[in-house]
Amino acid sequence: MKRIQLAAIPLISATLFACGVNSDNTSTSSADNDFSLAYQNITDATLKAHTKTLASDEFEGRSPTSKGEKVTLDYLVSNFKQMGYQPGNGDSYLQAVNLLEMTASPDMTMTIGDNQFAYKKGMIASTKREQQQVNVTDSDVVFVGFGVNAPEYDWNDYEGLDVKGKTVVILVNDPGFERPDSGRFQGKTMTYYGRWTYKYEEASRQGAAAAIIVHETAPASYGWSVVANSWSGPQYSLVSENGNAERVAVEGWLSNDAAKQVFSAAGLNFTEEKAKALKGPYHTSLKQKASVTVNSTMKKSVSYNVMATLPGSETPDEHVIYTAHWDHLGKDDSKEGDNIYNGAHDNATGTASALAIARAYKALNSAPKRSVDFLIVTAEEQGLLGSQYYAQHPIIPLNKTVANINMDAMNVLGRTKDVSVVGMGKSELETYLAKAAARQDRTLTQESRPEAGSYYRSDHFSFAKQGVPALYAKGGNTPIDEQTAQYKKRTKVLITGCYHQVCDQFRENWDFSGVREDAQLLFEVGYDIAQSADWPKWNASSEFQRK
């Protein structure tokens, strides 16, 4: 791809008009005029330019701790300085995040019974333990259904089962996905029990030696190639005092075909066993032994979150925090041809939106009453680690953090009549969102695939787990007009299948009007909260509440 210059995009000053007079001689509000001009300061051109730069080859796929990180941090800090934002972390724009980087050698096989599975073909395996080598040898293999222990749902796949030292094989997602009318869990809408992070955590609590998730494209919401690309190469966790000794020794995946071979070798039918697991808590022995050795190179490193602050004019100790993640998958030197995972959609678009919204706030005549912060985090692709670290080591006390607004993979498919709310129904932040959507003649709709568990897959979740109301919303599914519908159809053909692939590249013909409307929408949400004295609450039905 063409290389481009990395200079920060110049700040475009908006001409701010004084209080005007309508034709009927009624005065227009100076504050409304001020807001409107700032709102219009968010433009397609700004969003496109930032996205193009961040997704260029110069940034090398923005992998944490790489040369690409240095270029990215310089770009972000330069822009925030140019806009006049204060450092968010004392006298620094950076917050150090201590990472443990583990890179498993691809020269491994996993043996289950008489079957051997090759790395990235039939299986993926790695470890979070701070050890250069971990071994699982002749470990009894047990199928534990969905691997869920959820008292509130009266569901425990581990009940009466001792898995210490054993290898547990686990279905992806939760039991509601394929039985939405069963009344179990939340139907098609994924709960946290469906996330792979939970499954490894629970297997660790149960004392298992290894936890292996069976990949299926529909319930996982992504194909095997995403698993192979995302779980290979450097893997990160936060540095812990005990070297992550509490984690299972091996965390991995089996392809669907590999899993069927394992079940067949046990005299069982995978589909039939899965059907039993869907009906209620279930486990059964797979009558085989598992062995795998994971050799890893290990390195402790430091990556950085970026934080910039616009102090509030009246209550600066209360904060509204916008988040986006700057990182992506970097580059793969072993790959021939194009080996850079540029991450244009995921998440150059979200980072670009944060910069555009930040510029809009600086176009106001005066700052909002509350402080507004932009937290651009690292290591999202490795399990929300940058935002997790921030939530565990907050710069702004969480009880002074009024709300979080997140931006991840913005809408490049054109303007829409609706706004997709990820995790719809969780908090009063949707009231602010509905008001902002009405300005654009848009309505709120539930995300199209709540079964994908997207609310648990981006950085707002780190805030939600700590009790801070967090909003994640973006362009909906209904194009604004027929021309946009045709553009969407053409563009989807080009970008479908590019999630976490090298083809997630910036495209000159992308229509940024949808990104712009969504960024304007989220600017208004944050502005209204920052101007208010209210503290938005979680809804009573939400699994989150302020601590």
Lowest mean pLDDT among 39-53, 132-146, 166-180, 219-233: 219-233
The pLDDT score that the predictor gives to residue 21 is 34
Task: Please report the pLDDT score of residue 165 as a whole number.
Answer: 97
* pLDDT at residue 15 tops 50: no
DSSP state of 144: -
- pLDDT value, residue 453: 83
Give the span between the Cα atoms of 235 and 257, in whole angstroms. Answer: 25
pLDDT at residue 14 tops 80 = no
Q: What is the DSSP string of 467-521?
A: T--EEEEEE-SSBSSHHHHHHHHHHHHHHTT-TTSTT----TT-B-HHHHHHHHH
Residue 336: band (very low, low, confident or very high) from pLDDT cuts 50, 70, 90: confident
The proportion of the chain whose per-residue pLDDT surpasses 90, expressed as a percent, equals: 82
CB 412 within 8 A of CB 510: yes
* pLDDT above 80 for 6: no
3-class DSSP state of 148: coil
pLDDT (0 to 100) of residue 287: 97
Residue 449 clears pLDDT 90, i.e. is over it: no
Tell me what pLDDT residue 3 has.
Answer: 35
Q: Rounded to two decimals, what is the model's pTM?
A: 0.80
Query: Residue 237 — pLDDT band, cuts 50, 70, 90?
Result: confident
**Average pLDDT of 153-166?**
97
What's the pLDDT at 1?
38
Q: What pLDDT does residue 233 have?
A: 85
Q: What's the pLDDT band for 335 if we cut at 50, 70, 90?
A: confident
**pLDDT at position 176 over 80:** yes
What is the β-pairing status of strands 401-406 and 315-325? parallel
pLDDT digits over 290-326, tens only?
999 999 999 898 999 999 999 999 999 999 999 999 9
Residue-level pLDDT at 22: 39
**What are the two backbone dihedrals, phi and then psi, of residue 293, each rounded to the nearest 5 degrees?**
-115, 125
Question: Once rounded to an integer, what is the mean pLDDT over residues 497-510?
Answer: 94
Q: Please tell me the distance from the alpha carbon of residue 364 to that of residue 264, in angstroms, as a whole number.
A: 66
How sure is the predictor about 240, in pLDDT bands with cuts at 50, 70 and 90? confident
Asked if pLDDT for residue 27 goes beyond 80, the answer is no
Is residue 47's pLDDT more than 90?
Answer: yes
**Max CA pair span of the chain:** 86
Q: What percentage of the chain reaches a pLDDT higher than 70?
A: 95
Q: Which residues contact 92 (CB under 8 A, 6 or more apart)?
A: none
3 state DSSP class of 409: coil
Domains and CATH numbers, the chain: 42-98+301-531 (3.40.630.10), 101-298 (3.50.30.30)
Tell me the range of 188-197, 282-291, 377-386 where mean pLDDT is highest: 282-291
Using 50, 70 and 90 to split pLDDT, how confident is the model at 231?
Answer: confident
CA-wise closest residue to 371 among 431, 304, 322, 430: 322
Mean pLDDT value of segment 39-65: 97
Tell me the C-alpha distance between 102 and 120, whole Å: 17
Q: Take residue 82 and report the two structure tokens written for it.
A: 């140019």
pLDDT of residue 215: 98
Mean of pLDDT values over 450-464: 91
Q: Check residue 334 and give its pLDDT.
A: 84
Average pLDDT over residues 25-46: 83
**Three-state secondary structure string covering 28-83:** CCHHHHHHHHHHHCCCHHHHHHHHHHHCCHHHHHHCCCCHHHHHHHHHHHHHHHHH
In this structure, which amino acid lies at residue 31? A
